[in-house]
Amino acid sequence: FNLERNIQDQLANSANLMGQRNIAYIDFLDEEMVTTNLHDGYSPQPTITRACVYDKENVLFASYMREKAVRYR
């Protein structure tokens, strides 16, 4: 149970950090920079296979998807 909670906390912290990192780029409609940040932030983390950033109207703004997902047992 603690491991699951720890993973949830790590994901929430990562998402909050990524959101803060991209606020200005979203405000200036810089989709390319947000996409670059998603890739740079999540590609070193093999367990993160997808990430999305939505605008204020909850419309998909940018996304990241790992080319080859890693499976853990």
Q: In the prediction, which pLDDT does 73 show?
A: 52
Please, where are the H alpha helices in the chain?
2-27, 31-42
pLDDT band at 42 (very low <50, low <70, confident <90, very high): very high
pTM of the model: 0.79
Contact status, residue 65 vs residue 50, Cβ threshold 8 Å: yes
Long-range contacts: 52-57, Cβ < 8 Å, 24+? 53/18, 53/19, 53/22, 53/26, 55/26
The letter for the amino acid at 2 is: N
SS3 52: strand
Higher pLDDT, 35 or 68: 35
